[in-house]
Structure 1
Amino acid sequence: MLTELEQLAAKIGRVLHHADTLAAENQRLREEIERLQADASRLRGDREAMAADRELLNIKIEEAQLRIQSILDKLPTASDARQLDLLGEGDAASRAEQKAPGENA
């Protein structure tokens, strides 16, 4: 009977050790879950902030496109005689026309 009690006590000791190990693992997993939940919450906040920034940038892009289109609408067209010669090609052509025949450039 004493041997059986010793064996039972040894088994109870192993079960208690195993229970302690499981409790420690359970606590570690709870802490890990809390950390992951905090990370997920932070990432959700970051995502929402980025979505708001993106929306703001889209609005700014649309406003810039409207301003550019407004500027382009004010520029003279190719058929407009008032068109500016921004590259100076017209100057060279008009100078060539003004030169006397037989004159070298």
Structure 2
Amino acid sequence: MLTELEQLAAKIGRVLHHADTLAAENQRLRDEIARLEGEAAQLRGEREAMAADRELLNIKIEEAQLRIQSILDKLPTASDTRQLDLLGEEAAAQDAEPHKAPGEHA
């Protein structure tokens, strides 16, 4: 009977030791889960900030495209006869004459 009680006590001791080991592992896993949840929350926040930045950049791109299109719409086309003569008639006439060296007579 004493031997059986000693064996039972040894088994109970092993079970308690195993329970303590499982409890420690359980706590370690809970801590790891809490750490991962914190990281996930941080990553979600960063993702949301990036999405907001992207949306802002898209708006700026659209505004820039509208400004560029507005500028392009104001430029004269090749068929537009109202183009300004930026060089003037005198410059065109000078280009038509052959170039002479200084001191050269016609």
Fold-level match, TM-score > 0.5? Answer: yes
Tell me what 1:20 maps to: 20
Unaligned runs of 5+ in 1: 86-90, 101-105
TM-score of the two chains, using structure 2 as the length reference: 0.77
C-alpha distance in 2, partners of 1:76/1:98?
Answer: 29
Q: Which amino acid aligns with 2:26?
A: N
C-alpha distance in 1, partners of 2:97/2:61?
Answer: 47
* 1:1-43 superposed Cα distances (whole Å, 9 cap, x missing partner): 1111111111011101100100000000000110111111111
* 1:49-101 superposed Cα distances (whole Å, 9 cap, x missing partner): 1111111111000000000001111111112342678xxxxx8xx83x5439x
* Corresponding residue pairs, total: 93
Alignment of 1:62-101 (within 5 A): 62-81=62-81, 82=83, 95=95, 97-99=96-98
Pairwise CA RMSD: 2.2
C-alpha distance in 2, partners of 1:48/1:36?
Answer: 18
Q: Which amino acid aligns with 1:5?
A: L
Percentage of matched positions with identical amino acids = 78
Q: Which runs of 4+ in 1 moved over 6 A?
A: none
C-alpha distance in 1, partners of 2:47/2:15?
Answer: 47
TM-score of the two chains, using structure 1 as the length reference: 0.78
- Report SS of the residue matched to 2:79: coil
Tell me what 1:47 maps to: 47
